[in-house]
Structure 1
Amino acid sequence: MFTGSIVALITPMDEKGQICRTSLKKLVDYHVLNKTTAIVSIGTTGESATLSQEEHIKVVMLTLELADDRIPIIAGTGANATTEAVSLTQRFENSGIAACLTVTPYYNKPTQTGLYQHFKAISENTELPQILYNVPSRTGCDLLPETISKLSVFKNIIGIKEATGDLSRINKIKASVPNDFLLISGDDITALDFIQLGGNGVISVTANIAAREMTKLCSYALKGEFIKARLINQRLMYLHEALFLESNPIPVKWLAQKIGLIKYNTLRLPMTSASKFTCLQLEKAIQNAKIQQH
Structure 2
Amino acid sequence: MISSKLYASLAGCIPDLPTPFDEDGEIDDEAFARLCARQIAAGAPALVVGETAGEASTLSAAEDERLIRTAVAVSDGRVHVIAGAGSNSTGQAIELARRAEAAGADAVMSVVPYYNKPMQEGIAAHFQAIALSTGLPIILHDVPSRTVRELADDTLLRLAERRQFIGLRDGTSDVTRPLRLSGRLPDSFRLLSGDDATALAYVAAGGDGSISAVCNVTPDLCHIIHSSLKQGRMQTARYLQRRLGALQTCLGKESPAALKYALSLLGVIRPTMRLPLVELDEPSKAAVASALADMDDEELPAAADA
Q: Deviations over 1:77-116 (max 9, x none)?
A: 0111112111211123254322111111111111111111
- How many residues are matched? 292
Matches within 5 A, 1:83-232: 83-93=91-101, 95-232=103-240
> Are 1:283 and 2:289 matched, yes or no?
yes
Distance 1:267 1:63, change over 3 A: same
> Are 1:237 and 2:245 matched, yes or no?
yes
> Are 1:268 and 2:274 matched, yes or no?
yes
Give percent identity, aligned residues only.
34
Q: Deviations over 1:120-160 (max 9, x none)?
A: 11122222111000001111111011110111101110110
Which amino acid in 2 is paired with 1:53? A
Is the Cα contact below 8 Å between 1:236 and 1:288 reproduced in 2?
Answer: no
Give the TM-score of the pair, scaled to structure 2.
Answer: 0.92
Which amino acid in 2 is paired with 1:115? I
Q: State the distance in 2 between where 1:292 and 1:207 align.
A: 10
SS for the counterpart of 2:167 is strand
Q: Deviations over 1:58-80 (max 9, x none)?
A: 11111211222222110000111
> Any gaps of 5 or more consecutive residues in structure 2?
1-8
Is the Cα contact below 8 Å between 2:36 and 2:71 reproduced in 1?
Answer: yes
Q: State the distance in 1 between where 2:38 and 2:301 align.
A: 12
Match of 1:252 in 2: 259
- Report deviation, 1:206: 0.2
Q: Deviations over 1:40-67 (max 9, x none)?
A: 0000100101111111111111121122
RMSD over aligned Cα, in angstroms? Answer: 1.3
> Any gaps of 5 or more consecutive residues in structure 1?
none
Select which of 37, 56, 74 maps to 1:48: 56
Is the Cα contact below 8 Å between 2:160 and 2:186 reproduced in 1?
Answer: yes
Q: State the distance in 2 between where 1:260 and 1:44 align.
A: 22
SS for the counterpart of 1:285 is helix
Matches within 5 A, 1:37-76: 37-76=45-84
Which amino acid in 1 is paired with 2:257? I
Q: State the distance in 2 between where 1:17 and 1:51 align.
A: 11
Q: State the distance in 2 between where 1:116 and 1:10 align.
A: 29
